[in-house]
Amino acid sequence: MNKTKKLRYPAGLFSIFFESIRLIWEELQNFFYGHKTIFDIILIAVYLSQQIGLLLALEKLREELVVPIFIAVLLSTISFERVCMQSRYSKLKNHTARAEWLYEQQKEEYEVLKEAFKRKLKWRNKK
């Protein structure tokens, strides 16, 4: 008999870890959604600091090492910004869809009330 030993991970530890990540991401998502201008200013500051870091590193280190590292950091920052903005866009799209649905519901209710009001006016005028 070939008995293989299954690896068991503490489910509670992973649950806590992933739940923490989810909560942090939701907070970041809310921040991106509600504070786009602040987020843009922070990213401009990050890009500026990266460029200053590149200039300082080019002065002190060999160019062959600095440029690829700078490109990797820059691409990572751009990718992070894209993910954040995509998340903001998705949340905005969901809010817009909900607002449109609520608008349609209110519009239907308005039409029903308008018809009821017209019937009531006709009934009153017949008296």
Contact 84, 39 (CB under 8 A): yes
Single-letter amino acid, residue 84: C
| Structure tokens that stand for 2 in this block | 């070939």
Pick the more confident residue, 72 or 15: 72
CA angle 78, 79, 84 (to 5 degrees): 100
Q: Name every residue whose Cβ is closer than 8 Å to that of residue 24 and which is 6 or more positions away in sequence.
A: none
**pLDDT for residue 65 is more than 70:** yes
**pLDDT for residue 81 is more than 70:** yes
| Structure tokens that stand for 89 in this block | 């866009």
**pLDDT for residue 9 is more than 70:** no
How confident is residue 53, by pLDDT bands cut at 50, 70 and 90? confident
pLDDT tens digits along 89-114? 888 898 899 999 999 999 999 999 98
